[in-house]
């Protein structure tokens, strides 16, 4: 029997509708509109599409979107100055500098310059540290989206054995940390595999929940999956035959109990969780103002 498909697009639309309702309440009760500033340096095609989609999502949710598009040779010093101006701007609740940045710019220096209170991507060391100790302000968007997919798909996380394939700072490490916490929608036992893990299939076949962010097309095949497991495929790879994930979907869907497709699985959730973090930032600003 084929696996149940976890429809990330439908789930993201459901959450965005919830966000829109909350944004409208903020506006009516407190005359406050959440603001998200997005900075794009250069002309990376993927980044341009992503920024465009963020703008559309903000508009639909009622969030104010401010876009700053700069040429590829934009100086690092001026980018740092722009970030500081956005830090001080009272109408900006969240700041996102679209990655990757051109090579002449120190990515860490830029990310670390963002006010942690406005770091809606959850990449600043302050926010990473808060996540580590189980007291997060903002969860990184893609890992937060994965957790939401699991919850809304009805997958039991508490007590489950989660195997994460990939140890990146963007997905692998934070999703492992989120799901291992002593917290609601967590309390899992987590194993992290990576390129130096021998006999990886021995680990993946034990997973009740398998999260794959390997950065390699079709790295996980059906014979590496525990029957009935929930499989979350984070990868997006462009091949001549079209888009595919890090999981071989055709063989995996015959073994898994639930599975995300590519596209239409994890992808739509990233922007949605960015909106959710921006809304949270606005609420925190409201609390701080004492209104």
Could you tell me the two tokens for 252? Answer: 């995996």
Indicate which residue of 119, 121, 246, 248 is catalytic: 121
98 in catalytic set: yes
Cα dihedral across residues 259, 263, 267, 268: positive or negative: negative
Indicate which residue of 16, 98, 147, 181 is catalytic: 98
Indicate which residue of 54, 173, 253, 258 is catalytic: 54
208 in catalytic set: no
User: 3-state secondary structure string, the chain?
Assistant: CCCEECCHHHHHHHHHHHHHHHHHHHHHHHCCCCEEEEEEECCCHHHHHHHHHHHHHHHHHCCEEEEEEECCCCCHHHHHHHHHHHHHCCCCCEEEECCCCCCCCCHHHHHHHCCHHHCCCCCCHHHHHHHHCCCCCCCCHHHHHHHHHHHHCCCCCCCCEEEEECCCCCCHHHHHHHHHCCCCCCCCEEEEECCCCCCHHHHHCCCCEEEECCCCCCCECHHHCCCCCEEEECCCEEECCEEECCECHHHHCCCCCEECCCCCCCHHHHHHHHHHHHHHHHHHHHHHHCC
**Separation between Cα atoms, residue 274 and residue 218, nearest integer Å:** 27
Instruction: Mention every residue, 6+ apart, whose C-beta is less than 8 A from residue 31.
Output: none
54 in catalytic set: yes
- Just list the catalytic residues: 54, 98, 121
């Amino acid at each position: 029997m084929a696996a149940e498909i976890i429809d990330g697009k439908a789930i993201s639309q459901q959450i965005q509708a919830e966000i829109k309702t909350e944004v409208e309440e903020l506006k009516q009760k407190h005359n406050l509109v959440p603001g998200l500033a997005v900075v794009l340096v250069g002309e990376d095609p993927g980044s341009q599409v992503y920024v465009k989609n963020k703008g559309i999502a903000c508009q639909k949710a009622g969030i104010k979107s401010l876009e700053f598009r700069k040429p590829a040779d934009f100086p690092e010093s001026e980018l740092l100055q722009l970030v500081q101006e956005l830090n001080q701007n009272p109408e900006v609740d969240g700041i996102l500098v679209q990655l990757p940045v051109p090579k002449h710019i120190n990515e860490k220096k830029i990310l670390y310059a963002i006010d942690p209170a406005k770091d809606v991507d959850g990449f600043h060391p302050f926010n990473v540290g808060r996540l580590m100790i189980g007291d997060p302000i903002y969860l990184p968007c893609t890992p937060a989206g994965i957790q939401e997919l699991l919850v809304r798909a009805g997958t039991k996380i508490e007590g489950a054995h989660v195997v994460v394939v990939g140890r990146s700072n963007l997905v692998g490490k934070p999703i492992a940390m989120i799901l291992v916490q002593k917290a609601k929608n967590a309390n899992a036992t987590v194993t992290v595999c990576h390129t130096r893990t021998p006999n990886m299939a021995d680990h993946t076949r034990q997973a009740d929940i398998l999260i794959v962010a390997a950065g390699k097309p079709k790295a996980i095949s059906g014979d590496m999956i525990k029957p009935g497991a929930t499989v979350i495929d984070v990868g997006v790879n462009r091949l001549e035959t079209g888009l595919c994930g890090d999981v071989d979907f055709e063989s995996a869907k015959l073994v898994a109990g639930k599975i995300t497709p590519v596209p239409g699985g994890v992808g739509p959730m990233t922007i949605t969780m960015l909106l959710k973090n921006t809304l949270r930032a606005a609420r925190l600003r409201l609390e701080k103002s004492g209104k």
